[in-house]
Each structure stands twice: as structure tokens, then as C-alpha cells.
């Protein structure tokens, strides 16, 4: 077992990148809530209409899937299924035609960010409750599927959208994600919802949305898949560093 101390976590990031990002780690205005995530409003609005301020070289339209216009989900099942729709929207657009390089890069960053945030929030909020309601076997199975997705997502995070290996790797992600989502929506979530009171589902939905602002924004294979223990500790150490890296790299998500 690898011991993840604060020093070890910090050492996995580029010190120059973190140092360069520190001046940019400031409060920003003109942001709106977009499907549970903080998204720069000018980026979403301008990209969606292809107008001024859209990425240079854009030849198509990026559609921002909002999952109900950013309204809070009624319960954790609704929140998770809304996220799934948004993730597949990004994948469909990346696999389509007519987008310029900058638009594809923006979608790639958004996919990495949202899938990482979604997965880690599930691991912190849903999966401990799933273990209590449905047992270890089901919880461990979905965790194993998350690990597979994280490995692929790490590759996508490192690639340029025009890399010749990007589309094949994206196809692998879509295949694994579709399998995971189908199993989660057709088996895991219905069984979980049948065993948990409605009030608890609503409480978990609120907690799930709040947790999205506290977890890392990139996939980390070495992070422990131990909900409510190791994950929370490592996620809280890693999240600020990921956000600094995003700022240093000019990622607007």
C-alpha cells in the first residue's frame, strides 16, 4: 500500500506550475451555476452561440448541456442521471464533426473536469450509503469500474484533442462509460432507491452537489478508493492543487 502524505500528494504536481498559478488563484466574477459546476458564463454563452469571445478558429457550435438549467436536483438519483446526460453530450460533440481545435480542447477539458468531479463525488457521497444499503459487493464492483474509467481519463487529460490517438481513446472511454452508466441506472440506483427513504435521497442529493466543489478536478489513480476515509482526506489535499493547475494551464471549466 502506498502512503499518501500531504508532502507526497504535493510532490506529484509541477512546482513551477503551482507557483505560476498562485497569483491567479483569486475570486472571479461573472460566473453562473451550470448543472452543478461553476462555469464561466461568458465562455458558455459565447461558445454556445458562436459569437464574440468564442474560441478562436471555431467552425461549429459547442452545446452546453446544463442538466435542467442548473436547478438543484431533487435527489441523488436525479443528480447522477443528469450528470450522465451531460457527460455523454460532451462525448457526442467530441466525436462529431465541424468543431475547431479550440472548441474540441475546451470540450476535452470539460469532459475531464466533469467526469473526475462526478466520479469522486459519487465515491464520497453515494458509495458509502450504497454499501450500507446494498452491501460491499455492489459498492466494490462500481468502484472497480471507476478505476477503469480513471485510467482512460488520465490518458485523455494528457492528450491534445487533435492527437491521432485521442479519438480511439475517447471511443474506449465512451464504451466503458456506457457500460457503467447502464448498470448504474438500471440496477444500482433503482435498488438503492428502493432501500433508502425519500428524505435521505434528497439529503444525499444536496450533499452530492456540495461535494462537487470540494473534490479534485482531474483523475488520480493513486488516490485510495475508500469512501468516507482515505478518499476524503486525499481529495481535500489534492483539490486545491488541481485547481491551481487548471488556472495555470488556462483551463476554463
Q: What is the pLDDT of residues 208-217, one digit of tens each?
A: 999 999 999 8
137: pLDDT strictly greater than 80: yes
pTM: predicted TM-score of the whole model, two decimal places: 0.69
List, for residues 158-195, the tens digit of each pLDDT value.
999 999 999 999 999 999 999 999 999 999 999 999 99
The answer to the question of residue 41 being in a domain is: no
Mean pLDDT of the chain: 75
The answer to the question of residue 60 being in a domain is: no
Question: Strand, coil or helix: what is 26?
Answer: coil
Residue 66: band (very low, low, confident or very high) from pLDDT cuts 50, 70, 90: very low
Q: Which helix (H) or strand (E) holds 192?
A: helix 189-195
Percent of the chain at pLDDT > 70 equals 62
Phi, psi of 35 (to 5 degrees): 60, 35
The answer to the question of residue 206 being in a domain is: yes
Look at the chain and report how many structural domains it folds into: 1
Distance CA 48, CA 64 (A): 7
The answer to the question of residue 235 being in a domain is: yes
Alpha carbon of 234 to those of 4, 89, 178, 224, 237: distances in Å? 7, 30, 28, 8, 5
Q: Which domain holds residue 176?
A: 75-248
CB under 8 Å to 98, separation ≥6 — which residues? 59, 60
Q: What is the pLDDT of residue 140?
A: 93
Provide the CATH number for the domain around residue 90: 1.20.120
Average pLDDT over residues 9-18: 40
63: pLDDT strictly greater than 70: no
Q: What is the pLDDT of residue 21?
A: 39
The answer to the question of residue 83 being in a domain is: yes
CB under 8 Å to 116, separation ≥6 — which residues? 150, 153, 215, 216, 217, 218, 219
Q: Which helix (H) or strand (E) holds 130?
A: helix 127-134
Distance CA 139, CA 146 (A): 11
CB under 8 Å to 110, separation ≥6 — which residues? 90, 253
The answer to the question of residue 82 being in a domain is: yes
The answer to the question of residue 211 being in a domain is: yes
- How many CB atoms sit inside 10 A of residue 222's CB? 11
The answer to the question of residue 2 being in a domain is: no
Amino acid at each position: 500500500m502506498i502512503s499518501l502524505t500531504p508532502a507526497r500528494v504535493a510532490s506529484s504536481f509541477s512546482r513551477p506550475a503551482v507557483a505560476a498559478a498562485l497569483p491567479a488563484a483569486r475570486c472571479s466574477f461573472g460566473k453562473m451555476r451550470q448543472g452543478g459546476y461553476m462555469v464561466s458564463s461568458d465562455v458558455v454563452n459565447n461558445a454556445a452561440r458562436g459569437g464574440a469571445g468564442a474560441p478562436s478558429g471555431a467552425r461549429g457550435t459547442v452545446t452546453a448541456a446544463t442538466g435542467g438549467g442548473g436547478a438543484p436536483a431533487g435527489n441523488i438519483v436525479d443528480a447522477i442521471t443528469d450528470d450522465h446526460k451531460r457527460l455523454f453530450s460532451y462525448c457526442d460533440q467530441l466525436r462529431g464533426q465541424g468543431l475547431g481545435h479550440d472548441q474540441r480542447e475546451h470540450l476535452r477539458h470539460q469532459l475531464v473536469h466533469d467526469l473526475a468531479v462526478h466520479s469522486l463525488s459519487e465515491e464520497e457521497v453515494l458509495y458509502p450509503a450504497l454499501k450500507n444499503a446494498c452491501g460491499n459487493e455492489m459498492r466494490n464492483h462500481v468502484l472497480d469500474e471507476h478505476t477503469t474509467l480513471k485510467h482512460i481519463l488520465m490518458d485523455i487529460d494528457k492528450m491534445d484533442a487533435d492527437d491521432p490517438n485521442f479519438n480511439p481513446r475517447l471511443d474506449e472511454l465512451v464504451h466503458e462509460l456506457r457500460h457503467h452508466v447502464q448498470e448504474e441506472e438500471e440496477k444500482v440506483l433503482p435498488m438503492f432507491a428502493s432501500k433508502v427513504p425519500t428524505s435521505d435521497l434528497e439529503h444525499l442529493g444536496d450533499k452530492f452537489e456540495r461535494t462537487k466543489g470540494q473534490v479534485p478536478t482531474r483523475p488520480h489513480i493513486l488516490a485510495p478508493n475508500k469512501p468516507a476515509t482515505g478518499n476524503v482526506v486525499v481529495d481535500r489535499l489534492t483539490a486545491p492543487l488541481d485547481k491551481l493547475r487548471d488556472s495555470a494551464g488556462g483551463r476554463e471549466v
